[in-house]
Amino acid sequence: MKEKITLGFVNRVDGHTLAVEYSRMGGLNFTTMVKGIPSVTNIHGIKLSKGGIYQEHPDLKDLPYPKARKIAIKRLLKKLYSFQTDEEVEIYLINELAIQGYEMKLKSSV
């Protein structure tokens, strides 16, 4: 297993960039660059739309957004940790971000 995977993406709609770092020990970290301004956060700081959460997890529709968001993040981490290989994690992240309009441009692993 690799220690860390870094995937670089460009959004096909607005052109901003996103780097995703994943490691089994460190979880997910995100670096975005919008109009030249970088922003770094971990999984707990990412923005999730209300509609996206409720679409992906219909059982959370009756919960207030903050609680639904917290549960959605826990489910995402559980899913990532359930994969047997780093390649499975890579494929999942690439496919999920493609749905959001991101195209992978860079891959690095150590």
Cβ atoms within 10 Å of 50's Cβ, excluding its own: 12
Write down the pTM of the prediction: 0.82
pLDDT tens figures, 11-70: 888 888 889 998 877 788 899 887 788 889 998 888 888 998 999 999 999 999 999 999
Average of per-residue pLDDT across 58-83 = 94
What value does the mean pLDDT take over residues 86-92? 91
Domain boundaries, the chain: 5-109
Residue 44 is classified by DSSP as G
Q: How far is CA 74 from CA 17, 34, 106, in A?
A: 25, 27, 27
